[in-house]
Amino acid sequence: MKPARSRIVRARDLGVPFDGATGRFNAITDVPGVEVGHATIVRGHGKLVVGRGPVRTGVTSILPRGRRDGSPVFAASFALNGNGEMTGTAWIEESGLLSSPVMITNTHSVGAVRDAVIEWQLRHRRMLQPWSLPVVAETWDGYLNDTNGFHVKAAHAFTALDGARGGAVAEGNVGGGTGMIGYGWKGGVGTASRRLPRDQGGYTLGVIVQLNCGRPRELVIGGVPIGTHLRPADARARELGSIIIVAATDAPLLPHQLKRIARRLSMGLARTGSVSGNGSGDLFLAFTTANPRPARRSREVVPVAMLQNDRMDPLFAAAVQAAEEAIVNAMVAAKTMTGIDGHTVAALPHDRLCAVLRQYGRLCD
């Protein structure tokens, strides 16, 4: 059964099989309070003129407690392969706290977005100390975008921040994912979530990814070696991309436990076939919205809740499952895009994907 044309097509709509039960929107925004926003810049066609375009880029924002609450959350980061950038993580590792929105953009726009976040925090009186160390992550979009033209401006970051909302999240060629490539096919933004049953705590864990990594032959979907059967016509042999994965949960975890969650995100990536190549910056972040206001200055001792370590296995599974599905959702939602110098990256063909999955008995009709 094919979904209606007016609907955004996601992997489950095609019958791709995944483990685990999702939240209402199957998105990181299923974690109460989390909001996501995008600013997308698509402009120009033809030959590259640095500074003029063509432009295929943007910025994505993730606000852990939404636009109206800037209080910190417990957080941790993990670098599977460090050929990339995620600012602000040194202080997260030191303090265990995330005190800013999380932003994702292209490699050469990290500085502009970082500065814009500080300005936005000042405007909205969300500075919790005299300085700010925002989290801004990146992947490289230079095959499709005039990445040296510095087209992401403060106004785009403000649009992504002010436009952040809960509910359904736009995927594919949007925000920071606009010019990205996944496994040789068009990549971009993807999201997914898992809701644990009540006897396992009833917690929600959601993931959002900016997919820009992997080589065509490596692609695995639903346990099937898709890359063996499907290859884009202009596949490149070298891996020049990266992936950013951000996980959110409402489970009461402390920073060392969130580090354990962040590490498990790499297993969701591995399920889709990536080997985290030398050129791939694979950087992950996990945070929890539990323990409201964990950095209250009015108290010398702050009481916090912590889930016991031996109760974390369901959350580990949720992190792996949601990361895998978010990556596939990014590819399924993405559309064919032509960028600088006529470079074209094809979308993963839904009909051919389904045919291969059906051949292996892995399509949920």
Question: What pLDDT, on a 0 to 100 scale, did the predictor assign at position 128?
Answer: 77
Structure tokens at 139: 């992947």
CA distance 341 to 22: 41
pLDDT digits (tens, 9 = 90+) for 49-60: 999 999 999 999
Question: What pLDDT, on a 0 to 100 scale, did the predictor assign at position 180?
Answer: 98
Active-site residue identified among 242, 266, 274, 276: 242
pLDDT digits (tens, 9 = 90+) for 70-120: 999 999 999 999 999 999 999 999 999 999 999 999 999 999 999 999 999
Question: What pLDDT, on a 0 to 100 scale, did the predictor assign at position 236?
Answer: 65
CA distance 335 to 13: 16
Nearest Cα to Cα of residue 323 among 209, 222, 221 = 209
CA geometry: angle 12, 16, 20, nearest 5 deg: 70
Active-site residue identified among 30, 146, 250, 282: 282
Structure tokens at 124: 């909205």
Task: Tell me how crowded residue 97 is: count the other CB atoms within 10 A of its CB.
Answer: 17
Question: What pLDDT, on a 0 to 100 scale, did the predictor assign at position 1?
Answer: 33
Residue 31 CA from chain centroid, whole number: 15
Tell which CATH classification among 3.60.70.12, 3.40.50.300, 3.30.70.20, 3.40.50.720 matches the domain 11-296+304-356: 3.60.70.12
| pLDDT at residue 2 is higher than 70 | no
Q: How confident is the model at residue 164 (pLDDT cuts 50, 70, 90)?
A: very high
Q: Inter-axis angle of helices 313-333 and 255-271, to 10 degrees?
A: 50
282 tagged catalytic: yes
What are the sequence ranges of the domains in the chain?
A: 11-296+304-356
Range of lowest pLDDT (40-44, 66-70, 102-106, 257-261) = 66-70
Q: How confident is the model at residue 130 (pLDDT cuts 50, 70, 90)?
A: confident
Range of lowest pLDDT (26-40, 162-176, 237-251, 309-323) = 237-251
Structure tokens at 263: 């590490």
SS (H, E, C) the chain: CCCCCCCCCCHHHHCCCCCCCCCCCCCHHHCCCCEEEEEEEEECCCCCECCCECEEEEEEEEECCCCCCCCCEEEEEEEEEECCCECCHHHHHHHCEECCCEEEEEHHHHHHHHHHHHHHHHHCCCCCCCCCCCEEEEECCCCCCCHHHCCCCHHHHHHHHHCCECCCCCCECCHHHCCCEECCEECEEEEEEEECCHHHCCCEEEEEEEEECCCHHHCCECCECHHHHCCCCCCCCCCCCEEEEEEEECCCCCHHHHHHHHHHHHHHHHHCCCCCCCCCEEEEEEEECCCCCCCCCCCCCCCCCCCCHHHCHHHHHHHHHHHHHHHHHHHHHCCCEECHHHCEECCCCHHHHHHHHHHCCCCCC
61 tagged catalytic: no
CA distance 307 to 81: 29
280 tagged catalytic: yes
Average pLDDT of the segment spanning 260-288: 96
Active-site residue identified among 61, 99, 266, 280: 280
Q: What's phi and psi for 302, nearest 5 deg?
A: -110, 120
Range of lowest pLDDT (172-181, 232-241, 257-266, 317-326) = 232-241
Q: How confident is the model at residue 7 (pLDDT cuts 50, 70, 90)?
A: low
